[in-house]
Amino acid sequence: MTSIIAFEPDAGPWLLDEGEPIPPPVADRPARLNIDYLNQVNYNSRRWSGLSLSSLLARKVLLVASVAIRQPVLPRHPALARGIALILVLWVLVWASIVNGNLAVYWVFGIAFGMILQRSRLCFASAFRDLFLLRDGRNLRAILTGLAVASIGFAFIQVRAVPTPTFGALPDQAHLMPVSAQLIVGGLLFGLGMVLAGGCVSGTMYRIGEGYVGSIVAMVGILVGLVVATHEWNWWWTTFSDHAPTIWLPNLFGYGGAIVATLVALGACYLASIWWELRAGPRPSFPTKRTAEVPMLGLGDWLAQQYRALFGQGWPFIVGVIALAILNVFVYLFDHPLGVTGELANWANRAVSVGGITAPTLLGASNLAGCLLVFDPNAGWVTTGTMLDGGLILGSFVAALYAGEFKLRVPRQRVRYVQSIGGGVLMGYGAGIAAGCTIGAFFSAIPSLGLNGWVFGLALLVGAGAGVQIIKRL
């Protein structure tokens, strides 16, 4: 599969979204071009600024060629669409606060979740994929930084829950999982699937809010995979996890030792990613053009400046990761860490139950937290998980509208649909048996100070590497 790369002297090469229209060239910037497979990569990211065009082509990763893509469909009345979206957010908030305060809180969490992901274009798949595809570890290092922030915040919460961890007790709601082949296989399948589909589960959800039809197809695959995993969970549990150890680091080293070990491990991964990049040779540098600051004459100018900072340009990836880490700490402080696939599994199993396919009772689920495949037919559709996941999609939609980035993007090549649904099924199944995705089983598990988060992350890395080898041959 071929792609197009645009090279800007002031910023380096850029990879752009599928469906991004080709604007007329201006004096200081050439026309942007379209990209096919890597359609969901950060088109407004500067992470390509250290790579020369020749070095990219020398690695035989990207081929410069034209790809026909359908023109995106834009809202006819963007101001009206923004107003309606904002009214919907506020209406649901007021309704939820009347029905149940917890629903309102998770609605706010979900909106913030989606806005953070969309503005920073935060997708874990790109961090793992680009380490192999382009030997670029900057996004992965940003995620490692966010994990360090969240780990410190989680530790303060867990200290109050379990003051004396060396007695063997485990904190409630922490994302801990027995370390077994079940977890490893789940991570491998998820890592492979997210590269094929072009995004992880949370990345797929926020891109649905941006108008990606390919992400909607991937979500169908995710839901199918979750249903299959629900019906095979008990086999995995009894075969591999029933007697496997759940390793919470404070049980072994106390809180001080667990935090030090976690931060040292994150630092080692940080340095390893730099070493991996340097093996490809030095990066050329490019001068960056600074925009002159407009003097503020009044309150209106100040408000306009803040609006431009929020929606006028994309946030740096690391800003989004740190914001997500802080949000995760607040969510855990309220009840439990972030996770999205548990509620998606509830949606999927509830839908298939209409056809008589009933979810079995999951063995071991009562002793676990995280994104479990639990289906409660008496719970109803409106839950805190629904508010979080639904808020994520709508929050991304609102952010994309206000930034002028919402476009209905439809892939032309049929292979993209196959990749999306196939990768989605692998992600859904992997997240199902591992009790979480890159959010629940990784970004919330490592800060929970559980060894399972590290094992899942290593499996993700291996799976993503395998996925890159596959897409390079498509």
Residue-wise pLDDT for 44-65, tens only, equals 333 333 344 344 433 433 333 3
Q: Is residue 288 part of a domain?
A: no
Residue 184's H or E segment, with its range, is helix 181-197
To the nearest 10°, the Cα dihedral for 409, 415, 419, 420?
Answer: 30
- Which tokens belong to 385? 């998980």
The structure tokens 């008589």 sit at: 356
- C-beta of residue 221 within 8 angstroms of C-beta of residue 444: no
Residue 18 shares a structural domain with residue 124: no
Distance CA 435, CA 336 (A): 14
Residue 451 shares a structural domain with residue 379: yes
The pLDDT, as a whole number, for residue 112 is 97
Residue 204 shares a structural domain with residue 60: no
The pLDDT, as a whole number, for residue 34 is 32
Q: Is residue 164 part of a domain?
A: yes
Residue 47 shares a structural domain with residue 114: no
Rg (CA), the chain: 22
Residue 55 shares a structural domain with residue 112: no
Residue 30 shares a structural domain with residue 80: no
The predicted-structure confidence for 253-262, as pLDDT tens digits, reads as follows 999 999 999 9
Q: Is residue 425 part of a domain?
A: yes
Plot region of 211 (φ>0 → left; ψ -120 to 50 → alpha; else → beta) = left
Q: Is residue 304 part of a domain?
A: no
Q: Is residue 292 part of a domain?
A: no
The pLDDT, as a whole number, for residue 61 is 37
Q: Is residue 297 part of a domain?
A: no
The pLDDT, as a whole number, for residue 78 is 79
The pLDDT, as a whole number, for residue 364 is 86
Residue 90 shares a structural domain with residue 39: no
The structure tokens 């197809």 sit at: 217
The pLDDT, as a whole number, for residue 299 is 72
The predicted-structure confidence for 163-205, as pLDDT tens digits, reads as follows 999 888 899 889 999 999 999 999 999 999 999 999 999 999 9
> What is the amino acid identity at position 424?
G
Total structural domains within the chain: 2
Q: Is residue 406 part of a domain?
A: yes
Q: By C-alpha distance, which of 392, 341, 20, 383 is closest to 208?
A: 392
List C-alpha distances in Å: 176 to 143, 155, 172, 332, 456: 20, 14, 10, 14, 11
The pLDDT, as a whole number, for residue 280 is 73
Residue 223 shares a structural domain with residue 92: yes
- C-beta of residue 1 within 8 angstroms of C-beta of residue 471: yes
* Crossing angle between the packed helical segments 341-353 and 213-236, to the nearest 10 degrees: 90
Distance CA 185, CA 198 (A): 20
The pLDDT, as a whole number, for residue 35 is 36
Q: Is 109 exposed, middle or buried (0-12, 13-18, 19+ CB in 10 A)?
A: buried
Distance CA 49, CA 337 (A): 34
> What is the amino acid identity at position 255?
Y
The pLDDT, as a whole number, for residue 253 is 94
- The gap between the terminal CA atoms of the chain, to the nearest Å, is 5
The pLDDT, as a whole number, for residue 294 is 57
- Which tokens belong to 205? 């959800």
114 φ, ψ (degrees, to nearest 5): -65, -40
Residue 12 shares a structural domain with residue 100: no
> What is the amino acid identity at position 135?
R
What residues pair up with 26 in beta bridges, in sequence order? 29
Spell out the residues 6+ positions from residue 407 whose beta carbon is closer than 8 angstroms to its own: 19, 72, 73, 74, 210, 211
Residue 9 shares a structural domain with residue 27: yes
The structure tokens 């080898």 sit at: 469
**69, 84, 114 - which closes a domain:** 69
Helix/strand/coil for 3: strand
The pLDDT, as a whole number, for residue 314 is 83
Spell out the residues 6+ positions from residue 93 whose beta carbon is closer than 8 angstroms to its own: 104, 107, 108
Q: Which domain holds residue 10?
A: 1-69
Q: By C-alpha distance, which of 206, 172, 157 is closest to 391?
A: 206
Residue 31 shares a structural domain with residue 138: no
Residue spans of the chain under pLDDT 50: 1-71, 286
Q: Is residue 346 part of a domain?
A: yes
Residue 58 shares a structural domain with residue 34: yes
